[in-house]
Amino acid sequence: MRNCFYYWGFAAWLAYYINHPLYTPPSYGQKQVNFALIMCLTCEAGNFSIHIALSNLRKDSKGSKTCKIPYPTKNPFTWLFYFVSCPNYTYELGTWIGFTIMTQCVPVGLFTLLCFIQLTVWAKDKHYTYLREFKDYPSLRMSIIPFLL
Ligand SMILES: *[C@@H]1O[C@H](CO)[C@@H](O)[C@H](O)[C@H]1NC(C)=O
Ligand SMILES: *[C@@H]1O[C@H](CO)[C@@H](O)[C@H](O)[C@H]1NC(C)=O
């Protein structure tokens, strides 16, 4: 229920601004939109790749109760696993940053900021669970932003 209100509420609010007759297009016009679109699509592909990698990991460990450390695979999108524990959240954040650049709109930026906070909370939680569970956990990994956070 709460999620529904949150997402539909934001969708309506953002749509109101983006489709308003007084909406001003991004400063750098079509170039900015194209750049942001590529960023969104790249991150979506990344998000999808991580989803597949995690789901394969779960498939492999079916039967045994122990969960495993996810590692990068042959798919370059999963190489973020070298640097962060939750690349799916990194990509999700990237998607929303792309959308913010595309629309160049303050409410969208606010939505992205709230996402960033929530995703960071989840990522840190997961990261510390990994650290607690695995003594040999890769030490280079951060929670969500490579080398930073
Ligand atoms: C993102 O990754 C984390 C850590 O691997 C996982 O716990 C979580 O379920 C994933 N989120 C989604 C929406 O798949
Ligand atoms: C990323 O993938 C997860 C499923 O693994 C999905 O729940 C989430 O909405 C996706 N994020 C974006 C920004 O598309």
Provide block-wise average pLDDT over 10 residues at a time, the chain (149 residues). Answer: 95 96 95 98 98 91 77 96 97 98 96 97 97 95 97
CB 80 within 8 A of CB 18: no
Rounded CA separation 39/94 (Å): 7
Instruction: Specify the pLDDT at position 60.
Output: 79
Name residues whose C-beta falls within 8 Å of residue 43's C-beta, 6 or more positions apart in sequence. Answer: 91, 92, 94, 95, 98
Q: How far is the CA of 28 from the centre of ligand 2 (A)?
A: 28
CB of 49 closer than 6 A to ligand 2? no
Q: How far is the CA of 148 from the centre of ligand 2 (A)?
A: 23
What CA–CA distances, in Å, run from 101 to 38, 97, 122, 124?
A: 11, 6, 24, 26
Q: List pocket residues of ligand 1, CB cut-off 6 Å.
A: 51, 54, 86, 88-89, 126
CB of 141 closer than 6 A to ligand 2? no
For 64-75, the pLDDT digits (tens) are 666 789 999 999
Place of tokens 């953002």: 14
Instruction: Specify the pLDDT at position 67.
Output: 77
H-helix or E-strand spanning residue 149: none
Closest residue by CA, ligand 1 atom 7: 126
Atom of ligand 1 nearest to the CA of 88: 1
Closest residue by CA, ligand 2 atom 9: 92
What CA–CA distances, in Å, run from 64 to 6, 26, 53, 110?
A: 37, 52, 18, 42
Name residues whose C-beta falls within 8 Å of residue 126's C-beta, 6 or more positions apart in sequence. Answer: 85, 86, 143
Neighbours of 76 (CB within 10 A): 10
Q: How far is the CA of 88 from the centre of ligand 1 (A)?
A: 6
CB of 51 closer than 6 A to ligand 2? yes
Rounded CA separation 144/37 (Å): 22
